[in-house]
Structure 1
Amino acid sequence: MTSPVADQSDDLVPSLTRIYKNLRVVKVDLKTVFSDTPLEDIYAAGLWRKNNTWPEINLADIMRLAVVWKMGGLYADSDVVCIRQVTHLTNMIAWQEGFTLGSGVFHFSRHHPVLKLVMEYIRENFQPEKWGSSGPIVFTRILKDLCDVKDKKKKCLGVSLLPIRSFYPIPSVIWKTLFMPQDPRPIRKRYPSSYMIHFWNQLSYDEPIVKGSGSIYDQAATTFCPNTRRIATKQSSGY
């Protein structure tokens, strides 16, 4: 993320940039990202890396907020597969589980007031040792306080609150089903109301994916990420 060069040893990055002309791989200047935001002092003081076991998660959680607040746009975790067009989804976030909003996928316009409120809350209540405190927890708290969304209203201050199935059709408690052989039903028919499928990398990071296994992950990759899957399985059936 902050390296001046990208690892090109497996040819994945060069191949994808050749195939997709609108794909850009960029490095991040973190000082610039956080400057003139409510999170500037947290970054400058290095609070995100102190007294915790997941500094990279803390950094990713606050960086996504600063980038989208400054530039506007869609953020999505790297452990999702997009299965439908999402360009029409603006100023939105989705419920993740129960009455918790997820921060794995969201869109906000530039300088959206909700994002500023989220960052200001983090500045005053930063908890680097608590997983999700700068992600789902704070989004849920802010929007519940602003709009009393305990009844799962569909809108809050112009922000659409999408159903769980939009991005998180498989709950985290049964994440393993995503990597088990399944019937070959088309992914879009299996998840008719979903835009993306979240694969819970926090839990599944060491789960092997086997080409041709029939798992939901491999089926989704075959249909929606064929070039990435082809390149990733050049040397091995596992990826």
Structure 2
Amino acid sequence: MSPQKKFSVRSMLGPFRKMSKKSLTYRLISPSSMFNLSINNTANIKTGGEVLPTELPTNATNLNILPVVENEEPLIPPFNASVDERMEWFRRKLPDIEILKSTKLSEKFHGRVLELFNKNCSAQFFMVWLSSAQSFGPKDFLAVDSLFSTNPNGCLLILSSSMDTPKGYRILKPLLDRGFNVLAVTPDIPFLVKNTPAKPWFDDLKSGNMDPGSIPLFNTLSDLIRLAVLYKYGGVYIDTDFIFLKDLSPLRNVIGAQSVNQVTKKWSRLNNAVLIFDIHHPLLVEFLKEYATNFDGNRWGYIGPYLVSRVLERIGDNFEYDVTVFPPKAFYPVDWFKIAKLFKKPETEADMKWVDDTVADIGGESYMVHLWNKRSRELKIEEGSVMARLIADHCNICENIYDT
């Protein structure tokens, strides 16, 4: 039996499966016969093999606990360095790499997460931002804004030391002022990987005894953090280059295909930019194992988008998992090389008809649109374009759309 048949992909051949909102829970999950899951809804949250206390710091949201350093940039190894040269460079840098340590602030991570998620969230969302707060631009803010336009009762945790600052607070304040539950929190990676298959890998990295690879370290860590935080808490991970079109709260244990084989009609590549999983889902364990045992920091995407495809292909004939692979239309309705057209103003009647048809098509079937930031970050949203119309219908703070 093919992996695609084992991982329910009925949605790839027809309309998306309807899911009841009643089936949704992540951290505080209720038994659901539909998904055959049962997790104890108690005052404590079992995470990664240990039960953690729910006592919250009294100043968890007080700006006085926020660091003053705001411009931490990704660590970029020396260009064309040999493995030995790169490891020597990395060992010199290690004492100053705060993200690898548990600090006074990051040790508050779990308590601050609980404080956010104890607000009757319809769904738990996660984003990772390891660049500077200065680089959190208008399109990134639009992603957060559109999330709350479609999931107003959701809770969003942004794992970011740079956004966990007064500057980051100011960026998010327009949403906080409207009562939305969004919080930037400095991640504690040692805590997140504890009692997971990634712990030995992380210990080797911190010891300086392994090659971190030529890819910027924060890219590497972003791929790890999203898997670990979903394993610890369960919920919805999304990259910051999406526009949300529909409520995601009914979805459970879902991963999206980026492309489909046109002959077999089976997925040919999955993507890790959207991951929706229950707490302690066994597939997340397999992802973390793959990350740790086959780490390669020299091949872009190998421990990121390509990792999830490898794991599902490998385990498909051996295990049964409760996961659904959605077709590209769900999360990636526009290929990266076509995304620029969605930003362009229609100039002719034919252009206007194409915009109308595209908006109707994407708006009717897609949960979100991936903007492929590497391709679109510098593009302006032009008036009357597909993006302008989609955003106008899915935003709370809709100012300066055409300046982004």
TM-score range relative to shorter protein: 0.7 to 0.9
Q: Distance in 2 between matches of 1:60 and 1:6?
A: 23
The aligned amino acid for 1:2 is: S
Indicate conservation of the 8 Å contact 2:244/2:394, yes or no.
yes
Candidates 166, 178, 182, aligned match of 1:19: 178
Deviating beyond 4 angstroms after TM superposition, the runs of 4 or more aligned structure 1 residues are 46-49
Candidates 381, 388, 391, aligned match of 1:209: 381
Partner of 2:341: 177
Partner of 2:117: none
Q: Distance in 1 between matches of 2:376 and 2:215?
A: 18
Q: Distance in 1 between matches of 2:202 and 2:388?
A: 38
Partner of 1:189: 360
TM-score, normalised relative to structure 1: 0.84
The aligned amino acid for 2:331 is: F
Q: 1:21 to 1:117 in 2, by over 3 A?
A: same
Partner of 2:372: 200
Partner of 1:35: 194
Partner of 2:238: 76
Q: Superposition pairs for residues 1-239 of structure 1, below 5 Å?
A: 1-3=160-162, 4-8=164-168, 11-44=170-203, 45-46=205-206, 50-98=212-260, 99-147=268-316, 157-182=321-346, 183=352, 185=356, 189-191=360-362, 192-210=364-382, 213-227=383-397, 229-230=398-399, 233=400, 237-239=402-404
Q: Distance in 2 between matches of 1:209 and 1:42?
A: 42
Compute the displacement of 1:2 (Å): 2.0
Larger CA Rg, structure 1 vs 2: 2
Compute the displacement of 1:17 (Å): 0.9
Indicate conservation of the 8 Å contact 2:201/2:292, yes or no.
yes
Indicate conservation of the 8 Å contact 2:241/2:371, yes or no.
yes
Compute the displacement of 1:188 (Å): 5.9
Listed one character per residue, the Cα deviations across residues 98-143 of structure 1 (whole Å, up to 9, x for unaligned) are 3001111121111111110111011110011111112221111111
* Counterpart secondary structure, 2:303: coil
Q: 1:164 to 1:237 in 2, by over 3 A?
A: closer
Unaligned stretches of 5+ in structure 2? 1-159, 261-267, 347-351
Q: Distance in 2 between matches of 1:35 and 1:159?
A: 25
Q: Distance in 1 between matches of 2:388 and 2:199?
A: 40
Indicate conservation of the 8 Å contact 2:161/2:185, yes or no.
no
Indicate conservation of the 8 Å contact 1:49/1:58, yes or no.
no
Name which of structure 1's ranges 187-196 and 40-49 shifts more when overlaid on structure 2.
40-49
Compute the displacement of 1:78 (Å): 0.6
Compute the displacement of 1:90 (Å): 0.3
Q: Distance in 2 between matches of 1:43 and 1:179?
A: 41
The number of aligned residues is 224
Q: Distance in 2 between matches of 1:221 and 1:157?
A: 35
